[in-house]
Structure 1
């Protein structure tokens, strides 16, 4: 499949309303002496809420500015007195979208800690470190309010910013750490958790690394990264299979070092540094706004590097991964948001146009004919059918394969989120119902942008069940409990308001076709 970069941009714009960062301090928040915590760098003062405390904008690494642009993260400086941690810090540089107006502030390596108000003595609480999605180009940890998870699960949740776009994943043959600076930031955040989370009541010996979309691909990369050994003890992978490939247009997985180095050469040329005697020094003088304007829409971490020696999919197939329990899954209608974006951009999908549309994304005519035959289009369902092609090829079927490979190495729990009436990721009305599209499960776990979504009583019960599953997995490596439907490791657990139970796999996915697709 060839890449369709404008569609990714459209999806991130569509998600912006749901995830928009809101730094305002909630009205019910208050500060008090119980909201002051001492960590290695100094004291921080957070805010107390009903049932939980929030500590926002804590630096976990030095600002990656000047000579530290495109350098491994350095320790954050210490401070005297009590640092204000009542407001979130700047997101990392990115174009406008999830972050209104975007950001050009490189001083962005901060994290947020949400911890229950209950006593923080022994036993210490499990820790979940959340890595946000956004195609490795957009997003912020502060978009995800995890207080429901922290309170109901009695866990400590950390959300984190990491360098994005060309500032996080620039490839350059002469640059140490090339293509993996954003992943290195995630390592630094995990090391910060190991050193400091005990002050918030968390257990540094029970850390779950979790993420969605690009955050899920990040978790895959960390599973295959030798230098991440011992930094986390369980993994949650939402809508981002470890066997995804960067040549697929909707899966920003890892790319070979040669690919990112070539992209780095093109970027240097675009910003006037292509013929500089010291290209990196020249690039470090370029304004962030110019870098953002020149960077490619698609970004991936590099493999063939010290941090990520091989493709995560190859490492998984060979068993060269960290053997930690994994919870992994996808949404039933992952591709519908992309299909809707393509239609809104002017593409018509009808029985007459479907063969040509399929060939646009699958250049091999024979394989394109197979897809058209397997996924027939009528006059009324072109958008959903194309969404099924995108979802099956890039998410559902690679996730199924990833889960099967993982299950030969470590305990694995698999799910499919399948609420056909999940709250839409954007208030805009799409050209057809999106169902359980990409990112639809997030609102069941978090208050996105600090705002809860309207849900039916059945959806609220599903959200509570999902949080219970996720938190039990973080606590013990097994999502099961006496008050939730049993989750069998041998099947995929369907998660829908009217049905929580096993399916293997969903019959609507055509994974036999995609397993033979090059």
Structure 2
């Protein structure tokens, strides 16, 4: 970092001397030439005066004023924005963190823009409370309904200084739409911001019933969680220029339900101008989004368990947030029985209402604008639930029972009679759990993602697909022995953010590659860095997704995701239940 400061001061000194030095008049033909004294200064130089001038110049340049204008003896920084002074702290040399409230939202109301820069407890070092959720999962140190905050990680280097406005990646956390926060394990984006030379903003949004299942009497309050994220993008477009960012260079990204949120934003017309590209990691695309009739069924189930009438908003507003968090367990435990389209795994999801969320991004329901996309999954997406349900190797009968119970509508027999997912011949080794892992990974994640990529390409969109075949065990996954040595759901997070605890050399190398590729995509909508020190990543086509193995070599074989099987011979859930 000191080297960066020195280079900057040299450049500014040169600029200052050019500005301060008088241009000598052109000699007249009658004047004798002036004698030249080698190396004589044009003006006497007062070093202290120049240093003061340099400091003044530095403090009016967005990127530099963050890092060169620190409060004396402090790691706190301050930047002027249209909403007032943004106060933050240095997290690592060269990266500053700013926490900010991007909106306010009384219960069941759409988010409202803030009028001033606001931070938790007026403390630049404080992290935000997570949105109301089941606190036993431990995704934040505290929780509140007043939770619409973003955490900005801002880098500084000579490269970003000279490149003009730098891009921004907006990260949307996962958690099945019911848990999660911007402070969840591994989401410190300091290293990611520095490596990609981009601003990284990690945003929070309302969760569960408070974000996606409003009282039936408030019909216009659907998709509040999605509206929260849209408002965060509007907020960021207005303030990132103060940090050296270019509002025209925003990439939205997310993992798991955060990736589903990214996919939803592709279908929100009012969000179209707020970002230019998107990254979708481990999105359970098979589920699709819900239709209004499904929302009605979920509302009836949820609010019938509460002590208030659905039309008594005063009573509903008086209930603690914990009442809704507890009540939504009815939906989480019985989603498929309440409404088959909701399913049993992630029943609380955005609603395709035809206006705000206009398209579902499946079937024939796509937006007219097809932004550049980067879509990835991990090798063992289903390893966590499979290993959690079955701590030991299983008999062959466990495989067939699971398939038939999951797909009792005739799809199960198609699966078992296929060449891709036939029942293991024996239970030798761990064959049954491995087969279940492969099936559910393909069913929920990989095959619908590749189907989506081929469709997006056929519509004229640019899309790249990847498969993580190496990763880093995410917090909690280590307690599921089946996931040890595998790449289970969430095991890409530490790799991307550079937050792997005690990384191996292979993990360090993979992080370097992933950050280089994601950085290239954020900057240029192409995950091939310039110069490209890695294998060329080819675009997907309507017939071949060219899925690059991340942490491996070459492209991944499609297996059961071969065109013509999933989505045709065997229907996805979004096809069965429709929109």
1:494 is aligned to 548
For the residues of structure 2 that align with 1:80 and 1:357, how far apart are their CA atoms?
A: 50
For the residues of structure 2 that align with 1:456 and 1:428, how far apart are their CA atoms?
A: 20
| Structure 1 residues 429-508: aligned runs within 5 Å | 429-431=480-482, 433=484, 435-447=486-498, 452-481=500-529, 482-490=532-540, 491-497=545-551, 499-503=552-556, 505-507=557-559
Aligned partners of 1:233 and 1:325 also within 8 Å: yes
Cα distance, 1:306–1:161 mapped onto 2, change above 3 Å: same
For the residues of structure 2 that align with 1:424 and 1:142, how far apart are their CA atoms?
A: 14
Aligned match of 2:302 in 259, 264, 267?
267
Whether 2:218 is the aligned partner of 1:169: answer no
For the residues of structure 1 that align with 2:534 and 2:151, how far apart are their CA atoms?
A: 30
Compute the displacement of 1:483 (Å). Answer: 1.9
Aligned match of 2:275 in 220, 226, 232?
232
Moved more, 210-219 or 52-61: 52-61
1:178 is aligned to 221
Cα distance, 1:168–1:434 mapped onto 2, change above 3 Å: farther
Moved more, 318-327 or 347-356: 347-356
Whether 2:328 is the aligned partner of 1:320: answer no
TM-score normalised by structure 2 residue count: 0.75
For the residues of structure 1 that align with 2:403 and 2:180, how far apart are their CA atoms?
A: 31
1:9 is aligned to none
Query: What SS does structure 1 have at the residue aligned with 2:395?
Result: coil
For the residues of structure 2 that align with 1:31 and 1:260, how far apart are their CA atoms?
A: 55
For the residues of structure 2 that align with 1:488 and 1:30, how far apart are their CA atoms?
A: 50
Query: What SS does structure 2 have at the residue aligned with 1:501?
Result: coil
Moved more, 348-357 or 78-87: 78-87
TM-score normalised by structure 1 residue count: 0.83
Structure 1 or 2, whichever has the larger Rg, is: 2
2:381 is aligned to 334
Query: What SS does structure 2 have at the residue aligned with 1:311?
Result: coil
Aligned partners of 1:129 and 1:210 also within 8 Å: yes
1:71 is aligned to 109
Compute the displacement of 1:280 (Å). Answer: 3.5
Aligned partners of 1:333 and 1:434 also within 8 Å: no
For the residues of structure 2 that align with 1:169 and 1:30, how far apart are their CA atoms?
A: 46
Q: After superposition, give the CA deviation of every residue in 1:490-515 in whole Å (9 maximum; x if it has no partner).
A: 44343343x24333x44375675433
| Structure 1 residues 407-426: aligned runs within 5 Å | 407-408=457-458, 409-419=460-470, 422-426=472-476
Count of matched residue positions in the alignment of Structure 1 and Structure 2: 466
Which blocks of at least 5 consecutive residues in structure 2 are unaligned? 1-70, 333-346, 572-579
For the residues of structure 2 that align with 1:470 and 1:145, how far apart are their CA atoms?
A: 16
For the residues of structure 2 that align with 1:103 and 1:313, how far apart are their CA atoms?
A: 37
2:190 is aligned to 147
Compute the displacement of 1:404 (Å). Answer: 0.5
Query: What SS does structure 2 have at the residue aligned with 1:159?
Result: strand
Cα distance, 1:293–1:227 mapped onto 2, change above 3 Å: same
Cα distance, 1:90–1:33 mapped onto 2, change above 3 Å: closer
Q: After superposition, give the CA deviation of every residue in 1:267-305 in whole Å (9 maximum; x if it has no partner).
A: 21111124x5x2444322211111111013231111125
2:439 is aligned to 389
Whether 2:335 is the aligned partner of 1:282: answer no
Whether 2:448 is the aligned partner of 1:398: answer yes
Which blocks of at least 5 consecutive residues in structure 1 are unaligned? 1-28, 246-252
1:257 is aligned to 292
Cα distance, 1:305–1:54 mapped onto 2, change above 3 Å: farther
Aligned partners of 2:256 and 2:282 also within 8 Å: yes
For the residues of structure 2 that align with 1:366 and 1:188, how far apart are their CA atoms?
A: 41
Aligned partners of 1:486 and 1:501 also within 8 Å: no
Higher relative contact order (CA 8 A, sep 6+): 1
Moved more, 138-147 or 207-216: 138-147
Whether 2:566 is the aligned partner of 1:514: answer yes
Aligned partners of 1:52 and 1:151 also within 8 Å: yes
